[in-house]
Amino acid sequence: MPTLSAGIGEEAHCPNPPRPMSLAERGSLVIMPSYNLVMALPTGDRSRAYAFAQALGLETPGELAEDGVPEPLRVQLNEQAAVM
């Protein structure tokens, strides 16, 4: 196994200098698309689920239904993930 060797005040010599991980030119890489994730979970009590989300300070977009809960009940966790 190769080792680094250098005396005091000398530069270390590495027999196999590190190489860049990619040979692509800066700015030439394709940007990967991002996707939104929606997880569907059943709930037995919409009002309780809504109150829980509100207590955590999570956004619940949508118009309120007759029971005072948004329809569909969707809890936005962050910009790309929600629970429905």
- Report whether pLDDT(73) > 70: yes
Question: What one-letter code names the amino acid at 76?
Answer: Q
Does residue 72 fall inside a structural domain? yes
Any idea which of 3-7, 17-21, 48-52, 67-71 has the lowest mean pLDDT?
A: 3-7
pLDDT tens column, 18-67: 666 666 666 666 666 778 999 999 999 999 999 999 999 999 999 999 99
Structural domain includes residue 32: no
Residue 73 covered by a domain: yes
In total, how many domains does the chain have? Answer: 1
Query: Does 49 reside within a domain?
Result: yes
Q: Report how many helices (DSSP H) and strands (DSSP E) the chain contains, helices first.
A: 1, 3
Tell me, yes or no, whether 31 lies in a domain. Answer: no
For residue 24, is it within any domain? no
Show the tokens assigned to 27. Answer: 């700015």
Asked if pLDDT for residue 13 goes beyond 70, the answer is no
Quote the CA–CA distance of 17 and 23 in Å, as a whole number: 15
